[in-house]
């Protein structure tokens, strides 16, 4: 949940309040710098990338949706800036010179400053609805685990969905049986589908639910 | 390691550990099909990806709050929660939470290096022209 305090900060900046802007920079600068320093040794470069991320945020501030987390947004921009920077050093893992569907070389695979930033800003209402619906269902799911202190399920689902591991890999890490992992996956998928249904959204848009994991 | 769509997603988001990252890099170098798949994913993300993993990572859905991370540092949480946060930091490898934690350990919010501190001040000064005009 985005705090009232954060919403107020965004609102004030949207109204041109410089003190609110200074406050925001001060509040997020440390964590962003630490994030950058996890990947890049040179502190001055890290600071440049963090400052560019802040500028990216500020340049679009009038359209920023205050119900979104500032932190997640800033981390998103920064992580792309870092990827771009590393790529420019030739260290990056993103394939060089990716080509688009018509065979043209794309100079920069990350057109938008934040991954999926379009879900924050652009007028694609359908995408935004889908994104918001799925976010809502996932928050319900995670809160359900936490409320019941069912951390084993949360850990399992996080390894599957966030780290993209297979049932078998997750089972090995957690020291549990593959079948238990499969049942947790089944539970989570069902939970999300049921809650999506309540929101009256088509599940065709989320094909990953129907991918069968063969490694049970 | 079978490189699935989810693994490529995690790879792009920097959410794999070093060993896994190396494996994916190697596979990418060897397989044009996989490279094409990666390019497709990046393209679809530019259009606003909403796969479960992407949303979860992008919105930091399971990340503990800053207050909780503080309590984690002081071990002032119940054991289950402490254990989960440790897992989230170390096994899932959440870089955002790691960054928050190191930031919390640092009492001074401003950069220590005088040169960086000066750059910070200059930035605040220069960036204000981008602020929306007050009505
Ligand atoms: Zn986290």
| ipTM of this complex | 0.78
Let me know if residue B135 belongs to a domain: no
Cα–Cα nearest to B63, from A60, A185, A35: A35
pTM of the model: 0.76
End of a domain among B39, B58, B77?
B58
| Contact map slice: B 5-64 vs A, CB within 8 A | 5-16, 21, 24-25, 28, 35, 38-39, 42-43, 45-62
User: What is the domain count for chain B?
Assistant: 2
Question: Are B124 and B74 within one domain?
Answer: yes
**What is the rounded distance in angstroms from the CA atom of residue A92 to the CA atom of residue B43?**
18
Let me know if residue B24 belongs to a domain: yes
Question: Are B22 and B74 within one domain?
Answer: no
The domain in which residue B40 lies consists of 5-58
Mean pLDDT value of segment A5-13: 92
- Whole-number pLDDT of residue A114: 40
Let me know if residue B36 belongs to a domain: yes
pLDDT in tens, A16-50: 999 999 999 999 999 999 999 988 889 999 999 99
Q: Helices marked H in chain A — which ranges?
A: 4-14, 18-37, 43-59, 70-88, 118-121, 125-147, 151-157, 167-174, 178-198
User: Are B88 and A149 inside 8 Å of each other by CB?
Assistant: no
Question: Are B74 and B49 within one domain?
Answer: no
Smallest CA–CA distance, residue A197 to chain B, in Å, is: 16
Let me know if residue B134 belongs to a domain: no
Let me know if residue B79 belongs to a domain: yes
Question: Are B112 and B90 within one domain?
Answer: yes
Let me know if residue B133 belongs to a domain: no
Q: Helices marked H in chain B — which ranges?
A: 5-12, 18-30, 32-46, 52-58, 66-73, 79-90, 95-105, 114-127
What is the DSSP-derived secondary structure letter of residue A60?
T
End of a domain among B14, B39, B58?
B58
Let me know if residue B114 belongs to a domain: yes
pLDDT in tens, A105-131: 333 333 333 434 434 444 466 677 778
* Interface probe, candidates A76, A77, A93, chain B, greatest B C-beta count within 10 A: A93
Question: Are B52 and B78 within one domain?
Answer: no
Question: Are B54 and B106 within one domain?
Answer: no
Q: How far is CA B97 from CA A196, B123, B134, in A?
A: 29, 26, 35
Q: Is the pLDDT of residue B80 over 70?
A: yes
Question: Are B53 and B72 within one domain?
Answer: no
* pLDDT tier, A87 (very low <50, low <70, confident <90, very high otherwise): confident
Question: Are B124 and B72 within one domain?
Answer: yes
Question: Are B79 and B105 within one domain?
Answer: yes
* pLDDT tier, A3 (very low <50, low <70, confident <90, very high otherwise): confident
Contact present, A159 and B92 (Cβ < 8 Å): yes
In chain A, % of residues over pLDDT 70: 75
- Whole-number pLDDT of residue A139: 96
Question: Are B98 and B78 within one domain?
Answer: yes
Question: Are B123 and B74 within one domain?
Answer: yes
Let me know if residue B13 belongs to a domain: yes
Q: Is the pLDDT of residue A153 over 70?
A: yes
Domains of chain A: 4-116 (1.10.1740.10), 120-207 (1.10.10.10)
Question: Are B52 and B101 within one domain?
Answer: no
């Amino acid at each position: 949940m985005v705090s009232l305090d954060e919403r107020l900060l965004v609102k004030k900046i949207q109204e041109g309040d410089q003190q609110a802007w200074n406050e925001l920079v001060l509040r997020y600068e440390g964590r962003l710098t630490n994030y950058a320093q996890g990947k890049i040794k040179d502190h001055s470069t890290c600071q440049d990338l963090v400052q560019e991320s802040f500028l990216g945020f500020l340049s679009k501030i009038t359209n920023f949706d205050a119900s979104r987390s500032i932190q997640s947004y800033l981390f998103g921009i920064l992580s792309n800036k870092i990827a771009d920077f590393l790529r420019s050093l030739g260290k990056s893992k993103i394939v060089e010179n990716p080509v688009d569907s018509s065979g043209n070389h794309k100079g920069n695979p990350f057109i938008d400053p934040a991954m999926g930033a379009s879900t924050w800003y652009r007028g694609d209402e359908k995408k935004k609805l889908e994104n918001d619906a799925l976010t809502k269902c996932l928050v319900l799911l995670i809160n359900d685990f936490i409320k019941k202190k069912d951390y084993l399920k949360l850990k399992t689902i996080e390894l599957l969905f966030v780290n993209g591991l297979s049932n078998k890999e997750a089972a090995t890490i957690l020291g549990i049986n593959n079948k238990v992992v499969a049942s947790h996956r089944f539970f989570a998928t069902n939970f999300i589908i049921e809650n999506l249904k309540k929101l009256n959204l088509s599940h065709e848009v989320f094909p990953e639910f129907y991918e069968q994991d063969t490694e049970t | 390691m079978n490189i699935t769509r989810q693994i490529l997603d995690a790879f792009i988001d920097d959410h794999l550990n070093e060993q896994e990252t190396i494996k994916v890099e190697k596979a990418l170098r060897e397989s044009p099909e996989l490279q094409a798949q990666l390019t497709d994913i990046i393209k679809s993300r530019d259009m606003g990806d909403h796969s479960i993993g992407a949303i979860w990572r992008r919105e930091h859905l399971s990340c503990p709050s800053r207050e909780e991370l503080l309590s984690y540092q002081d071990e002032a949480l119940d054991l289950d929660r402490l254990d989960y946060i440790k897992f989230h930091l170390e096994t899932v490898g959440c870089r955002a939470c790691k960054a928050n934690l190191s930031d919390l350990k640092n009492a001074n919010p401003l950069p220590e290096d005088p040169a960086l501190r000066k750059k910070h001040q200059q930035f605040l000064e220069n960036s204000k022209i981008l602020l929306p005009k007050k009505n």
